[in-house]
């Protein structure tokens, strides 16, 4: 155990992608992000920030990756919400989000249409 509070826990990942790889989870079972209560999401992010600051200092991290997957199609393998916190250093060999390079920019009209769809669903 690295850290804990009433709502969330942080512990070392058994599979260290890079030294210092930590997982942060809610105490209550929630399969994925969609099932977290707002208070749990807040608590997980607050604890994640504390862990990130500690990793920066403990491992001399030059950067940090946060990642989380929802559903099998997104690569979720453990069906309890968890947020990966990985301290990064130049040349650490960990893959990038876009292993083949950053995608070309999307057309403004297409971005606007996507933003409209998201806003519609946020409005409920």
Active-site residue numbers?
Answer: 82
Query: Looking at 1-124, which runs of residues are DSSP E strands?
Result: 3-4, 8-12, 22-26, 63-67, 83-88
Number of H helices, E strands in the chain: 2, 5
94: nearest Cα among 62, 52, 58: 62
68: nearest Cα among 48, 98, 91, 38: 48
């Amino acid at each position: 155990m690295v850290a804990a509070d009433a709502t969330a826990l942080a512990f070392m990942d058994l599979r260290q992608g890079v030294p210092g790889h930590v997982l942060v989870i809610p105490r209550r079972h929630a399969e994925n992000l969609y099932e977290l209560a707002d208070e749990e999401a807040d608590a997980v992010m607050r604890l994640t920030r504390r862990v990130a600051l500690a990793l920066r200092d403990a491992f001399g991290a030059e950067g940090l990756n946060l990642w989380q997957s929802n559903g099998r199609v997104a690569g979720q393998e453990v069906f309890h919400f968890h947020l990966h916190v990985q301290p990064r250093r130049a040349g650490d060999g960990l893959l990038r989000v876009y292993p083949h390079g950053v995608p070309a920019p999307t057309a403004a009209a297409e971005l606007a249409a996507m933003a409209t769809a998201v806003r519609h669903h946020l409005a409920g």
